[in-house]
């Protein structure tokens, strides 16, 4: 069960990084400024939610293993 949580976390991290690199923003010259403008205007940066969720899945998996 814990291995599935780690795999899901890694998939979310990779998916988030992919979206952050490939998504076109409304304004901005580079990726960083496009993600900042998307975050300000729409309340979310492309891929940021998946990236943070993946990190949290891995952290929860580590805590669950320690608590066993």
Q: Measured between alpha carbons, how far is 19 from 30 in angstroms, rounded to an integer?
A: 14
Q: Is the pLDDT of residue 52 over 80?
A: yes
What is the percent of the chain where pLDDT is above 70? 71
pTM of the model: 0.69
Helix axis angle for 31-42 and 2-22, nearest 10°, is 100
Q: Comparing 66 with 38, which gets the higher pLDDT? A: 66
- What b-and-e string marks burial along 13-48, b requiring 16 or more CB atoms within 10 Å of the CB? beebeebbeeeebeeeeeeeebbeebeeeeeebbbe
pLDDT, one tens digit per residue, over 55-64 is 999 999 999 8
């Amino acid at each position: 069960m814990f291995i599935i949580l780690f795999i899901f976390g890694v998939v979310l991290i990779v998916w988030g990084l992919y979206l952050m690199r490939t998504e076109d923003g409304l304004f901005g010259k580079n990726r960083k400024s496009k993600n900042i403008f998307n975050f300000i205007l729409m309340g979310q940066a492309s891929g940021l939610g998946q990236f943070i969720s993946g990190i949290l899945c891995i952290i929860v998996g580590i805590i669950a293993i320690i608590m066993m």
